[in-house]
């Protein structure tokens, strides 16, 4: 038995905003990734190609970025929040199996 490593397509983007908790101007990095594998399929059941995965990752990233802009909070305030709370990284923005 061998371990197969699938290639991961990962993208990240920096979001700037004013923290709603401490009112400081901060920036955070949002990242999203997906692996290229035979189980990563399109809604129509076909296996996603690298460029389709690339698009899907960008879409995930766009959703996370929009969410973050809506309710911007800096990393240190975020880490101090009680669990669970309304934040995409901890809730899991996407149900897509990666």
Interaction of residue 22 with Zn ion, rule CB under 5 A: yes
State the number of binding residues for Zn ion (CB under 5 A). Answer: 5
Going by C-alpha positions, the residue among 29, 36, 38, 40 that lies closest to residue 7 is 36
Rounded to 5 degrees, φ, ψ at 54 are -55, -45
Residue 26 CB, shortest distance to Zn ion, in Å, is: 6
74 is an interface residue for Zn ion by CB under 5 A: yes
Which of 13, 19, 93, 96 is close enough to bind Zn ion by CB under 5 A?
A: 19
Those residues with Cβ within 8 angstroms of residue 22's Cβ, 6 or more apart along the chain or in another chain = 74, 76, 77
Q: Hey, is 16 helix, strand or coil?
A: strand
The nearer residue to Zn ion, 25 or 97, going by C-beta atoms, is 25
> 64: which 2 tokens?
């996370």
Q: Which stretch binds Zn ion (CB under 5 A): 45-53, 63-71, 72-80, 82-90?
A: 72-80
Please identify, among the stretches 22-30, 39-47, 52-60, 85-93, the one whose residues bind Zn ion according to the rule CB under 5 A: 22-30
């Amino acid at each position: 038995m061998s371990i197969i490593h699938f290639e991961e397509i990962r993208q990240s983007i920096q979001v700037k905003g004013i923290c709603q908790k401490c009112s400081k101007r901060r920036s955070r990095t949002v990242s999203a990734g997906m692996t290229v594998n035979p189980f990563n399929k399109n809604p129509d059941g076909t296996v996603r190609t690298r460029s389709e995965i690339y698009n899907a990752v960008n879409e995930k990233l766009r959703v996370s970025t929009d969410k973050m802009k809506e309710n911007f909070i800096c990393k240190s305030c975020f880490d101090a929040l009680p669990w669970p709370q309304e934040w995409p990284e901890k809730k899991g923005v996407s149900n897509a199996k990666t």
